[in-house]
Amino acid sequence: MLDLTWVLGGPFAAMQLADLGAQVIKIEPPEGEYSRTVPPHFFQGDSTYYLSINRNKLSLVLDLKRREGLRVLYDLAKKADVLMSAFSPEATRRLKIDYPRLRRVNPRLIVANLIAFDSKGAWRDRPGFDSIIQAMSGIMSLTGEAGGPPARAGFHVADQTAGLYLATGILAALMSRERTGRGQRVEVSLLDGLVASLTILAQNYLHSGEVPGPGGNRNPLVPPVGAYRTSDGKWVIFSITTEKFWHGLCRALGHPEWIADPRFATAKARLTHAKTLYALCEETFEKLSQADALARLQQEQVPAGPVQRVDEVLAHPLTRSREMLVTVKHPSGDQLTLLGNPVKFSGAPRLRYTAPPQLGQDTATILGGLLGYSGRRIRKLWDSGVTRPAATRG
């Protein structure tokens, strides 16, 4: 795989496939990909932003604005299965890495494009980033407290959602090629990815015409599901998707009489009297510590959990036992801790991880080994500035 993407959505998609065993070559301009420079935190000269989305890859420096650089890319494309980019359609055409050109170079190549909005029409070349996509997709209108301002999700949900869709599309295209022998173009837009994620809320609107709004920490469809503050200032959240769980909640909170209360006896009744039910639950949880509340809910087999900060999540025993934290050796020799991949296999070897590469770390190996360029040709490319050998960023 040739990864020409930058910042987040594309590199995130490429990393998923790299984790699963694809040989991913990250192709960067001579100055390095932008995410290497994002403040505030750095490790051995590279931003921790970059480190979070580029493990298990090789790094090749290549100036695609130079004719010689483009020629090298085409040589790689002849051998590649997939080429990914995240430029606007016009930039892709201008750089001469659009699908019609690449298809002539290698008819079996899968060309995967991550775009902001559309590849045609008025929105074709408009730039779009995560916050803009969250706003336009309706996500911000659903996030936050009722009556409050729209709020963005606390992480890059548009980029990462689109990245997962792109990785899925690439796998499907590769399967198709096994049957047909032909490559094709795969396109995912950031906006489409979040619109598709509206699922239940969109379907409810299409059926009823009722426009959903923010519910804060509450589930507007299943009261009294929500996050509740406990006596020690911590928070607990639970879910009651069945009557069994509702009955368990009533017993856990010391109010078995709620089970037969006509205001709460059915899911429809609880929805009608949601305001009253939420107030009763808040009053009850305020008298319990987080540990006591969770113990009671667990005893009654009610799905529940603590609302955790990032540091608490990363220290949780489950995070370790599920191998969601992995340690790798950085090219500098230092140890580096990264997040792991959530996919687990029973019939395959355990996933292996390598550190995100330093800029140009594998340039000589790729040009000399994969492409068979002579040392003289590689030095000529270095001297001309089309590529560069490995160099530690300071």
- Please list the active-site residues: 159
Q: How many other C-beta atoms are found inside a 10 Å radius of the C-beta of residue 355?
A: 24
124, two tokens: 């074709």
Burial of 162 (0-12, 13-18, 19+ CB in 10 A): buried
CA gap 284, 226 in Å, rounded: 14
* Residue 388, token pair as written in the block: 């560069």
Contact predicate 19/341, CB 8 Å: yes
The single-letter code of the amino acid at 82 is V
Q: Is 43 helix (H, G, I), strand (E, B) or coil?
A: strand
- How far apart, in Å, do the first and last CA atoms of the chain sit? 28
Q: Contact 10/85 with Cβ under 8 angstroms?
A: yes
| Spatial distance between the Cα atoms of 94 and 114, rounded to a whole number of angstroms | 16
